[in-house]
Each structure stands twice: as structure tokens, then as C-alpha cells.
Amino acid sequence: MKTKPKFFFGCLAGIMIFSLLLFSSGGSAAEPVKIGVMTPLSPPGATLLGQFILRGAEMGAEYVNANGGVLGGRPLELVVEDDSGTPEKGIAGYRRLVSQKNVSAVIGQVHSSVMIAVGDLSEKLGVPIFSTQASSKAITEKHLMTAFRTHAIDPDRAKMWLNFIQEMGYKRIALLAENTDYGLGLVDETKAGMQKLGLDLELKSFVFDKKVVDLTPQLLELKAWKPDLLIDIHSVPTTAYLMVKQAYDIGLYPGTPILASFDWPGRTEFWQNLGDKGNYILFISYYHPKMQLTERGEWFKQQYHQKYGEFPIYPAFNGFGQILILADALELAQSAKPADLIAALEKGQFKSWNGTVTFERGEGPYWHQWSPPLMVLQYTQANQSPEDAPILYPPEMKTGSYKAP
């Protein structure tokens, strides 16, 4: 019987090695400039966002390398790191990227809690880190030399929906918020914005734990409160889809409209998962397929469609854009040293996918912050593509009005 344990560990090792093989990928050629992509690729992180950002970043590197690379022909090489949406892993990952992989910059941050933790470390190690879709204003409010962002921040988002609420004439607003920096931050921002704008609204927040999949009890309570609008503040799409289903099933939605805090309803799987139940949802978006893109943005959109058979969505665009920004900044700095790169980032103007990006030393959270244009979209038909969803707000972009069920 002495051979049996060996047999086990044989099996075990086999399983492990196989799992690892499934995941590893090959490297590339000599003297590249390395850029880290640290993004959530496993739970409890928003793995989908991570996947899209990675796709965008990869095509960004392809674009740059196809156009002769940077710093006189050096290729860009991406080094991927999974932060799982948890600060501990983020810190470890950033350390590894900087000290072992010698990256010049890191992009891909999605979760505010991770970005805040990593931001402090980045200030010590000096390598710039980019929020690709982490929106807490605390990230840029600290005025760190190393933290940059090309994503809308909470005050932008809260201001957006407060204006929209005003236009729609809603009075009772339920905020269904996860108990994270993202969720609670937006609740505070909404309250502050309401005061600043002098609005007379009844706000009530319903806080839930991020990992909870069944929100039926909270939704029942929320329904009993009879709000005019439910603002959903989930950071993970999967559980957000479940929430919509559960709200539908207890008869809360679509009678009471739901406004999603970011563009998770814009993904194809939204309809796959929800079918007819998803119709009439409102969502904040930083991208509309009919919006005007830059030349680079247009290139990306077409290439992505060719490669993946679907059009890219915001996180992919933003991942792509940040790589191009970095490539331009490297050229401007004529150096791959992080300090030179930071100086160039503060100085330059960069062509991204949706406009010209600058990182100024602005006031409050508007430090190293570039906010993309925001809008409120609504689905007016089941299985509608985001392309056909009318833009309800802001007025200058408006293509339709709120459609009640």
C-alpha cells in the first residue's frame, strides 16, 4: 500500500499543472517597454470588466507596436496581474509588477478600494497607476504624484443623476448601495450634491453586502417605501443582474424605474440573463455607439469587432485608450523611467478614443483627473442593442424621452 500516496500526489500534481497550463501565456521579444495591466480577473472582483480592459489593452499594444513601437522602435509589452478586486492582492500585484517586472506604469484598476490601497504604495515606489474604471473621488483627492484617471468620478456621476432626477421630477429616491467605497461613496456624494444643488428630495439608502446574491428582503422593504426611482449602486454586474430579476419578480420593477450606476446593462449578456425582464432599465454610460469617436477610437472599434464579433464597450475602449496615452507620453518623455513619464503625463495632451486627454493638477478630486462625457440611456425594447437605446440626458445629446412600461 506504500505506493498509494504517490499515486495521489501524482494525480494532484497533474491536476495542478494542467490548471496552470490552461492559464499561462507566452512572452515576446527583446528590450520591450513594459506596462502592467492589473485588473480583476477572478472573483470577488468584477472579472468581466477586467477581461474587457485586458482585451482593450492588448489591442492598444498591438496598435502601438504595429505603428513602430515607442522610444525608437521598442515594442510595448503588457504584464498582466490579477488583483481579484481585493486590496491585499492589489498591493502584492503592484509590488511584483514594479520590483520584479520593472514596468513603467500600471493600468487597469477597477475597484476603488484596491486603487486606494495601491495608490499609497505607488507613491512610495513611484510608478504611475491608472484608474481605468475605479470612480471613488478619494483616489485623486489625495493629490498623489502617481495616481491618474480617465474615468468619471463619483461627483460627476452623482451630479449627472441629480440633474436627471430634477428633469424627471422624481421626489422619493431609493439608493440601493453595496457597502464598499464605491457604494457608500456614491450615497454620500448624492446627499452632498443634493444639498449643493438645493434640491428637495427624499433620499433613503438600502445598503447590502457586496457578496449577497439574494436581495429579495431588501427589495421588499424598498418596495414598501414606494420610491419614484431606484438608483442601483452595484460594482459587480453579476449580482446586479440578479437584483433586476429579483426586483421584477416581486413586482417592484419596471413599475418603479431602476437607474444603473454604470453601464452594465450595455453588455450582451444583460439580455441573455434577463430576457424581457430587463426592458426599460436606465443606465449611466460613458459611451454610446453612435457617439463621435477619434480616429484611433474608430480603428479600435472596427478591429475589435473583427476580432471578437461584437463591438467593444467602455472598459475595453478605456483600456485601449490608456495604453495609447502611455505610448504618447513615453514618446514625449523620451524615457521609460516612471518619473519622466509622470512629468510627461502632466505636461502633454493625448489623443485617446473619445477625445483629447490632459492630466492637470486640478482642485479637489480633479487632480490628474480626466472625466469622459456621461449620459443616461434607456432600453425601450427587449433585446435592444445599446446602439438603439435613446439618450435621455444630457439635453445636448438627447435622442429620446423616458418610456414608461
- Binding residues (CB under 8 A) for another protein: these are 1, 4-5, 7-8, 11-12, 15-16, 18-19, 22-23, 41, 43, 47-48, 51, 179, 206-209, 211-214, 216-218, 220-221, 224, 238, 241-242, 245-246, 248-251, 269, 272-275
In whole angstroms, the minimum distance from the beta carbon of 220 to another protein comes to 5
In whole angstroms, the minimum distance from the beta carbon of 206 to another protein comes to 6
Considering beta carbons, is residue 214 or 298 the nearer one to another protein? 214
For the chain, the distance separating the N- and C-terminal CA atoms, rounded to the nearest angstrom, is 69
Considering beta carbons, is residue 371 or 384 the nearer one to another protein? 384
* Assigned C-alpha cell, 372: 469622459
Element at 291 (helix H, strand E): none
Considering beta carbons, is residue 111 or 149 the nearer one to another protein? 111
Considering beta carbons, is residue 147 or 215 the nearer one to another protein? 215
DSSP H helices in 86-136: 87-95, 112-125
Residues 175/218, Cβ–Cβ less than 8 Å: no
In whole angstroms, the minimum distance from the beta carbon of 218 to another protein comes to 5
Considering beta carbons, is residue 310 or 360 the nearer one to another protein? 310
In whole angstroms, the minimum distance from the beta carbon of 274 to another protein comes to 7
Considering beta carbons, is residue 21 or 29 the nearer one to another protein? 21
Distance of alpha carbon 247 from alpha carbon 260, whole angstroms: 13
For 113, phi then psi, to 5°, come to -60, -35
Distance of alpha carbon 111 from alpha carbon 108, whole angstroms: 10
Distance of alpha carbon 240 from alpha carbon 244, whole angstroms: 6
The contacts of residue 253 (CB under 8 Å, 6+ apart) are 230, 244, 247, 280
For the beta sheet containing 76-82, the strands, ordered from the edge strand earlier in sequence to the opposite edge, are 76-82, 33-39, 105-109, 129-131, 147-149
In whole angstroms, the minimum distance from the beta carbon of 325 to another protein comes to 27
Q: How far is CA 25 from the centre of its chain?
A: 24
In whole angstroms, the minimum distance from the beta carbon of 168 to another protein comes to 26
In whole angstroms, the minimum distance from the beta carbon of 51 to another protein comes to 6
In whole angstroms, the minimum distance from the beta carbon of 203 to another protein comes to 16
Residue 140: half-sphere exposure toward Cβ, Cα within 13 Å: 29
* Assigned C-alpha cell, 189: 456624494
Considering beta carbons, is residue 29 or 224 the nearer one to another protein? 224
For 233, phi then psi, to 5°, come to -120, 75
Distance of alpha carbon 305 from alpha carbon 311, whole angstroms: 5
The contacts of residue 104 (CB under 8 Å, 6+ apart) are 33, 34, 35, 127, 326, 330, 336, 337, 338, 341
